[in-house]
Structure 1
């Protein structure tokens, strides 16, 4: 892949074009990544509306019909349901790893298989999330570790 940057003082906003011979899944993923590059998710913290950069999110968790956003230093309440978050961010390295958690794959630093066939994922802040055995095949597909 080749990348060109063209500086033009007349340009009103940053835009990107992708030139390809065929629109593949990889191209679609790149398109989604670029489109959401500066994306933020709206949440609530301390009864105020807060925005968090998608790249800073460790994971989302659904507890008692509420969805929480976890970052390095704060926990916010999300307006979106977990399935909506999964759909919106599936092309941005987010992956449903259990019935109640969507994790940022880019924040995973270690995977430890368990005897139960679950996997314990350690995130870059030291926190761990469980990847349910039901979702392990999808994780392997995403990271390119299929058997």
Structure 2
């Protein structure tokens, strides 16, 4: 793959052109990555107050019943968005580890395989999350570990 960068004042905004001889999964992933919103903050709700949370401060996003929460060091903030919307919005920094949880990949410290086939993830604030077997391959791929890398 060749990458070229051209800096020219004639462009009012950044343009990205991709030239390829065939469509591939790698191109699809690249396009999804480029289209993802590069946001630094997201809205979280604590009682009646709205907080602008830094993405880097969020350890996990999880659903409990019909509600979605952001877990940070200080609090658990509620989100008004759906989990699948947050998965798309935060895909640069987060990965789905089970049906109801996304984790910030930069916050994972260690992983331990359990007897049930699930993986226990230890975050850098000493909280844990469990990766189900269904999502384990995707997690390993995002972390760059395992045979399929």
On whether the aligned pair clears a TM of 0.5, the verdict is yes
- Aligned CA-pair RMSD: 3.1
Structure 1 pair 125–15 and aligned structure 2 pair: CA distance change class (3 A): farther
Query: Is 1:119 paired with 2:102?
Result: no
Shift of 1:71: 4.4
Q: How does the TM-score come out when normalised to structure 1?
A: 0.72
**Structure 2 counterpart of 1:132:** 132
User: Per the alignment, in what secondary structure is the counterpart of residue 16 of structure 2?
Assistant: coil
Distance, in Å, in 1 between the alignment partners of 2:20 and 2:28 is 11
Structure 1 pair 131–55 and aligned structure 2 pair: CA distance change class (3 A): same
**Structure 2 counterpart of 1:65:** 66
Residue correspondences, number? 146
**Structure 2 counterpart of 1:20:** 20
Distance, in Å, in 2 between the alignment partners of 1:57 and 1:68 is 10
Structure 1 pair 30–98 and aligned structure 2 pair: CA distance change class (3 A): same
**Mean CA deviation greater in 104-113 or 89-98:** 89-98
Q: How does the TM-score come out when normalised to structure 2?
A: 0.72
Shift of 1:134: 4.1
